[in-house]
Amino acid sequence: MDISPLQKARYAYSPKLPPALRGPVSGLGLETGAPALPEAAFQSSLKALFPLSYGQARVKFTRPAKAGDRSLAKGASALKVGVILSGGPAPGGHNVIAGLFDGLKAGNPASTLTGFKGGPGGLVDNKTIEITAELLARYRNTGGFDIIGSGRTKIETPEQFEAAFATAQGLKLDAVVVIGGDDSNTNAALLAEFFAAKKSSIAVIGVPKTIDGDLKNEDIEASFGFDTATKLYAELVGNIERDSASGRKYWHFVKLMGRSASHIGLEVALQTRPNVALISEEIEAKKSSLGDIVNEICASVSARADAGENFGVVLVPEGLIEFVPEMKALISELNELLARHDAEYKALQGVEAQKAFISGKLKSTEAGLFKSLPGEIQAQLLWDRDPHGNVQVSRIETEKLLAAMVKARLAELAKAGAYKGKFDFQTHFLGYEGRCAFPSNFDADYCYSLGYTAFALVACGLSGYLSSVKNLAAPADQWIAGGVPLVSMMNIERRHGQDKPVIRKALVELEGRPFKTFAAARAAWAASSDFRVPGPMQYFGAPEVTDRPTETLILESSK
Ligand code: FBP
C-alpha cells in the first residue's frame, strides 16, 4: 500500500486511556450510582415503552476494584462482539473499534470482534467482516469509517428487529456495539429492549459519535469527532479570513455542517473571530425573520464599508433554515404533508408538478412564503427526508440564499443613499471535508477510551448503556470511564408525523458559557478585521498545541 508519511507516523501513535482502564482487566472495578431517570414529563411514557431497560443506574470504572463493586462477570471469558458504525462519519471511529478490540483481547485473547458492513443494515442483513489484528493495524489512528463502512438504515419494522436478533443470535454474539449519533443510539436503546424482551443475554452498548456535537448532556461532555472537525473547519475559515483581508474584495458566506445544532459554528467562531456568526438557537429564541438576519449582516457590511473594508466573513450554521420561525412552520407543515400524501406525491412526474401539488395543500401564510423562495430552495426543501425523518439540511443552500438576499437589500439601501460600499461575495460549504480527517490527538485518545469502555461495559454484563468518558477538559490521566443508561437521555418527539421516543438532541444553550463568551465579543468582531487564524491541526509537538480540547469544552468545564 502506498501510504502517506503522516499515515505511517500515525500508526505508531499510542492513544492514552483513563487511569482506571490501564492495567490488567482483572483489577477493574465497577461502581454503581443512583438510577438515572429521563426528564419528568416523559418518565411514564418511557417506562411503558422500555419496561426492561428503564431506571438503570449510572456506572463508573475504578481501579483497584473496591469491596461492593460489581465484578467484571464476563471479563475473563472469551466474548463475541459485533460492532456497527452508524450515520455520518466522524474522525476517530476506527479508534473506537481499536479500543474495543484491544479491550476484548486484554480480557481474553480468544475473544472476537465482528464488523457489520455498511451500518445498521449489516446487522439486519447479516453482512459481516471479521476484524483481525492485521486488518485493524491499517486503520489505527486514521480517519474515516471505511474499515467496515457506515449507513443510515433505521431499524424500525418488527421484521427488521427480528432479523437483527436472528443475526446476533446466529453469530452467538454476547453484545452489539453501536457507534452512532442521537438517532443511532435511539436505535441501540430499542434494540437493547427488544433483545431483553426476547430473554436474550445479548447486550447492546452505544458510543457517542457525531461531528455535530449535539449528543451531549450532564453525563456525555462531547461526542467524538467534534474536536477534529472543528479544528479542521477553523483552519479553513481562518485561511479564508486571511484571504479576504488580502484580496479585500469579497464577503465570504461559509455554511458549516452541524445539522440542527450550531455547536460547530459557535466553536469555529470562537476560534476564528469572523465578522458575523449566526447561531440558529438564538435566531429561534429571538423569533428573527429572514429579513432580520439579512439586516444584521447588512449592518456589518455597511459599517465595514464606511471604514473602507469591503470584505468580511459570515458563518452560517447548516440547520439555520429550520430555526427561522416562519421557515420552521413551513418545514413542519411540509413534513406532515409529505408523510400524509407520500404515495400521491411520489407518483407525480417532475419537481415542478410536486412543488405545485404541495404548495396547493399548504396553509395560506406558508404557501406565500414557499412561493417567495427561489425555485432551487423550494426544490431542496422537498427533497427526501433521511430515514429518521430529518430534512437533509446539508442539501439546502442557505449560504447562497442569504448572500443573494444581502446583495438585494444592499442594492435597496444604496438606492436610498444609505450604503456606499461595494459588495461581491463567494459562498462555501464546509462539511464533508471534516468528517474523515485524521483524528486529532484528543479524538484519537477519546475514541480509543470510548471503545475500551464499551468492552468493559459488555464484560460487566450491562446492556442499554452509552459508553462514557468524562472530565475531558483535563489531561487523559484524569479522565473517568463509565456508562450511562440510554433511556435516561430520551424524550418524546414528533417524527414522520408521529410521536416517537428519541435521544434528546443538545442544542446550543444561550445561557451557556460558550455562547455568552461569543455574544460578549461579537460586536467588536462585526466591525474589525481582527481575525484569528488557528492554522492546521498538529499531531506532534508540545501538548499545549497538540492536545488542546475545543474552546466549547474548556468553557463548559470551567466553573
Ligand atoms: P450524524 O448525525 O450521523 O453524525 O451526521 C452528521 C452529519 O455530518 C450532519 O452534520 C449532516 O447534516 C449530515 O451528517 C449529512 O448527512 P449525509 O452524510 O447523509 O449527507
CA dist 466 and 308 (Å) reads: 53
Instruction: Tell the residue nearest (CA) to atom 1 of ligand 1.
Output: 88
**Angstrom distances, CA of residue 384 to CA of 335, 390, 437, 512, 517:** 10, 9, 28, 34, 37
Instruction: Tell the residue nearest (CA) to atom 7 of ligand 1.
Output: 88
Q: Which residues line ligand 1 (CB under 6 A)?
A: 87-88, 90, 181, 210-212, 257-259, 318, 393-394, 435
Whether the Cβ atoms of residue 228 and residue 402 lie closer than 8 Å to each other:
no
Instruction: Tell the residue nearest (CA) to atom 6 of ligand 1.
Output: 88
Hey, how many other C-beta atoms are within 10 angstroms of the C-beta on 296? 16
Residue of 85, 210, 267 to test ligand 1 pocket, by largest number of atoms within 8 Å of CB: 210
500, part of any domain: no
Distance (angstroms) between ligand 1 centre and the Cα of 431 equals 9
Q: What are the E-state strand segments in 198-261?
A: 203-208, 251-256
Distance (angstroms) between ligand 1 centre and the Cα of 154 equals 14
Let me know whether 200 and 158 are in one domain: yes
Distance (angstroms) between ligand 1 centre and the Cα of 81 equals 26
The C-alpha angle with vertex 162 and arms to 156 and 164, in degrees rounded to 5, equals 80
Look at residues 396, 426, 447 and tell me which one is the last residue of a structural domain.
396
Counting from 1 in the atom list of ligand 1, the atom nearest the Cα of 223 is 4
How many residues make up the chain in this entry?
559
Let me know whether 129 and 193 are in one domain: yes
CA dist 459 and 24 (Å) reads: 13
Question: Does residue 325 have a cis peptide bond before it, meaning omega lies within 30 degrees of 0?
Answer: no
Whether the Cβ atoms of residue 119 and residue 179 lie closer than 8 Å to each other:
no
Let me know whether 212 and 129 are in one domain: yes
* CATH number, domain with residue 51: 3.40.50.450
Residue of 145, 152, 211, 398 to test ligand 1 pocket, by largest number of atoms within 8 Å of CB: 211
Distance (angstroms) between ligand 1 centre and the Cα of 391 equals 11
Domain that holds residue 301: 229-318+399-435+506-559
107, part of any domain: yes
Look at residues 470, 495, 520 and tell me which one is the last residue of a structural domain.
495
**pLDDT value at residue 75:** 61
Let me know whether 392 and 403 are in one domain: no
Would you state the cell numbers that stand for residue 135, as one nine-digit string?
486488518
**pLDDT value at residue 383:** 87
Let me know whether 409 and 349 are in one domain: no
Instruction: Tell the residue nearest (CA) to atom 5 of ligand 1.
Output: 88
Instruction: Tell the residue nearest (CA) to atom 20 of ligand 1.
Output: 394
110, part of any domain: yes
Distance (angstroms) between ligand 1 centre and the Cα of 259 equals 7
Distance (angstroms) between ligand 1 centre and the Cα of 206 equals 18
Instruction: Tell the residue nearest (CA) to atom 16 of ligand 1.
Output: 88
Let me know whether 208 and 221 are in one domain: yes
Counting from 1 in the atom list of ligand 1, the atom nearest the Cα of 393 is 12
Report the domain count for the chain: 3
Distance (angstroms) between ligand 1 centre and the Cα of 321 equals 16
Counting from 1 in the atom list of ligand 1, the atom nearest the Cα of 210 is 4
Distance (angstroms) between ligand 1 centre and the Cα of 392 equals 8
Counting from 1 in the atom list of ligand 1, the atom nearest the Cα of 395 is 20
Counting from 1 in the atom list of ligand 1, the atom nearest the Cα of 212 is 10
3, part of any domain: no
**Angstrom distances, CA of residue 544 to CA of 12, 101, 471, 538, 547:** 21, 30, 17, 10, 6
213, part of any domain: yes
Residue of 257, 320, 504 to test ligand 1 pocket, by largest number of atoms within 8 Å of CB: 257
Instruction: Tell the residue nearest (CA) to atom 19 of ligand 1.
Output: 88
- In the block, cell 503522516 appears at 6
Residue of 394, 399, 447 to test ligand 1 pocket, by largest number of atoms within 8 Å of CB: 394
Hey, how many other C-beta atoms are within 10 angstroms of the C-beta on 173? 23
CA dist 359 and 509 (Å) reads: 35
Instruction: Tell the residue nearest (CA) to atom 15 of ligand 1.
Output: 394
468 sits in which H/E element: strand 465-470
Instruction: Tell the residue nearest (CA) to atom 17 of ligand 1.
Output: 88
Instruction: Tell the residue nearest (CA) to atom 10 of ligand 1.
Output: 258
CA dist 501 and 54 (Å) reads: 13
Whether the Cβ atoms of residue 140 and residue 11 lie closer than 8 Å to each other:
yes
Counting from 1 in the atom list of ligand 1, the atom nearest the Cα of 394 is 12
User: Exposed, middle or buried by CB within 10 Å (0-12, 13-18, 19+), for 105?
Assistant: middle
Counting from 1 in the atom list of ligand 1, the atom nearest the Cα of 225 is 4
CA dist 258 and 278 (Å) reads: 13
490, part of any domain: yes
Let me know whether 410 and 555 are in one domain: yes
Distance (angstroms) between ligand 1 centre and the Cα of 90 equals 9
Counting from 1 in the atom list of ligand 1, the atom nearest the Cα of 259 is 12
**pLDDT value at residue 388:** 65
Let me know whether 296 and 346 are in one domain: no
Residue of 84, 232, 259 to test ligand 1 pocket, by largest number of atoms within 8 Å of CB: 259
Look at residues 495, 526, 543 and tell me which one is the last residue of a structural domain.
495
212 catalytic residue (yes or no): yes
Let me know whether 32 and 123 are in one domain: yes
Instruction: Tell the residue nearest (CA) to atom 18 of ligand 1.
Output: 88
Whether the Cβ atoms of residue 294 and residue 405 lie closer than 8 Å to each other:
yes
Let me know whether 292 and 205 are in one domain: no
**pLDDT value at residue 471:** 97
pLDDT tens, 434-479?
A: 999 999 999 999 999 999 999 999 999 999 999 999 999 999 999 9
pTM (predicted TM-score): 0.93
Let me know whether 166 and 76 are in one domain: yes
16, part of any domain: no
Q: Which residues of the chain have pLDDT under 70?
A: 67-75, 388-389, 559
* CATH number, domain with residue 426: 3.40.50.460
Counting from 1 in the atom list of ligand 1, the atom nearest the Cα of 435 is 8
Can you give 39-50 as a three-state secondary structure string? CHHHHHHHHHHC
CA dist 68 and 76 (Å) reads: 19
Residue 289 DSSP label: -
Catalytic entry in 69, 102, 182, 212: 212
Distance (angstroms) between ligand 1 centre and the Cα of 91 equals 13
Distance (angstroms) between ligand 1 centre and the Cα of 548 equals 25
545, part of any domain: yes
